[in-house]
Amino acid sequence: MDINQLQDDVRMYAKEAINYENNNDYSNAKKFFTKAASSLNILRRADENKYNIPTYNKKMEDYLKKAKEMEEKEQENKKIKVDADGKKEDDENAKLMEQLSGTLITEKPNVKWEDVAGLEKAKEALREAVIIPIQFPQLFKGKRKPWKGILLYGPPGTGKSFLAKAAATETGGQFFSVSAANIVSKWMGESEKLVKGIFDIARKNKPAIIFFDEIDSVMSARSENENDATRRLKTQFLIEMQGVGKDDEGILVLGATNIPWALDPAVRRRFQKKIYINLPEENARRLMFKLNLGQTDNDITEQEFDTLAKLTDGYSGSDIATLTQDAIYEPLRKVQRAKFFKYINNNQNLICCSPSDEGALEMKMSDFSDNNRYFYYVNTGNGRSKLVEIREEEENGKTVRKWPLPPVNKKKQNNMELIEQPIHHDFEIKVHPSMLKCPKVTFEDYIHSIQKIKATVNKDDLKLNEQFTKDFGQEG
């Protein structure tokens, strides 16, 4: 028997088996791994070199193990998936659940009630609906039941989504964040299944919050010209919200919208409480400035915070966050424009300064490179100093520092002579990126940013929200 031919057969069978395994064709992969092991067994008996036998045995054992592994994977794929209730799910439902798993936030948002400025009535309503029923279930018996649906509405950027995250954090339960992209599908009947699937998963993971952001995008008022797919989607949502014949205890549906008047009346009715999230009041704006600044170094006094709160009447929470972000960048812009720096913190840091400041050094931000750079002082008159870089060169295997000899008069200014100097100088300094320090945020930085960052909320939209509150809602 031709040993070379047998060896070629083993390699061919093993290669085919690996290709089938990579394509998840476990049946053929098992067949070819078995063929490779069988050919190795024949080769082992035909080869007269006894020193090859241990190698053949090891390879044959590996191929048989792979064949068994392929058989197990094949059987696993044939198994019918069973859900938590013990009911069999077909492949279509399994695929649907896998698609919906992307809407579930496995890690609860790290937003506390203290992080939400103002909105005390909205917080109280959410505590009634979410926190208290979980902590004190014995209080909700008989006709006293937790709220099932709460609609948060108001101008954009006022903290509706932030409130929902805070409620999810406090409950410690599952949080589903749903948008139009999660439930709208081009395939016939799939949108309704997605809506039903979200509520089914929530019922299995109580306590749970289902948060529909921008709910008006999929639940607008029905009309005669509406297509059938959209109509069926809304109908399924209404059925799930009603919860007929299903246990919805421990599930809260939160909706957020900027245009509540555009919602379908039946959807509006399903939300038992409708809370108006208005623009922040002066005290809330004052707190927002502090929360957005956080630990950023600043020199802003309590009185200046009061002034900022008064100057930003009509700003939303999002507007204040954008304004603060721009103000925080103002010190960085100063550093980029600066031409003079001075030492602070016992010569550990350099900060931009005025040319008239004591110890002002003429340099710019680009002088702070990735590597250590060495400079020496050159007196330029008027009590100022300029930094001139010391150059390092390799000569005869040694590092030699050279520095331009300061010109005696203007004639030699453009013809500096490089002279060799010892490695250390009392007058040389080191400059590194880590030494650069940014100035503190000041009240003037905010005033400069206010001139650029304007309020984004339209007054006409405020009037519409206020009218909706008079007709259907309550102040938050």
Evaluate whether residue 294 is within a structural domain. Answer: no
Helix ranges (H only) for 105-227 are 120-126, 132-135, 160-171, 180-183, 190-204
Evaluate whether residue 68 is within a structural domain. Answer: yes
Average pLDDT over residues 216-226: 81
Look at phi and psi of residue 227 and say left if phi exceeds 0, alpha if psi is from -120 to 50, else beta: beta
Domain closes at, from 276, 296, 327: 276
Evaluate whether residue 475 is within a structural domain. Answer: no
Domain closes at, from 50, 78, 106: 78
Same domain, yes or no, for 227 and 368? no
Higher pLDDT, 394 or 371: 394
Domain closes at, from 249, 276, 303: 276
Evaluate whether residue 44 is within a structural domain. Answer: yes
Structural domain tally of the chain?
3
What gap in Å lies between CA 119 and CA 277, rounded to an integer? 7
Among all chains, which residue has been given the structure tokens 């607008």? 220
pLDDT band, very low/low/confident/very high, at 315 (cuts 50, 70, 90): very high
> What is the identity of the amino acid at 77?
N
Same domain, yes or no, for 151 and 181? yes
Same domain, yes or no, for 73 and 112? no
At 412 the pLDDT is 35
At 410 the pLDDT is 35
Same domain, yes or no, for 25 and 155? no
Same domain, yes or no, for 123 and 209? yes
Evaluate whether residue 299 is within a structural domain. Answer: no
Same domain, yes or no, for 148 and 199? yes
Same domain, yes or no, for 247 and 390? no
Average pLDDT over residues 30-43: 84
At 20 the pLDDT is 86
Evaluate whether residue 30 is within a structural domain. Answer: yes
Same domain, yes or no, for 10 and 121? no
- CATH of residue 63: 1.20.58.80
Domain that holds residue 153: 98-276
Which residues sit opposite 138 in a β-bridge?
none
Same domain, yes or no, for 139 and 268? yes
Evaluate whether residue 295 is within a structural domain. Answer: no
Q: Which two tokens stand for residue 412?
A: 């030699």
**125-151: b (≥16 Cβ within 10 Å) or e:** bbeebbbebbeeeeeeeeeeebbbbbb
Same domain, yes or no, for 123 and 266? yes
Q: Is a pLDDT exceeding 90 seen at residue 112?
A: no
At 81 the pLDDT is 43
Average pLDDT of the chain, as a whole number: 78
Higher pLDDT, 448 or 86: 448
Same domain, yes or no, for 62 and 158? no
Same domain, yes or no, for 214 and 158? yes
Evaluate whether residue 467 is within a structural domain. Answer: no
pLDDT band, very low/low/confident/very high, at 104 (cuts 50, 70, 90): low
Does the pTM surpass 0.75? The reply is no
pLDDT band, very low/low/confident/very high, at 243 (cuts 50, 70, 90): low
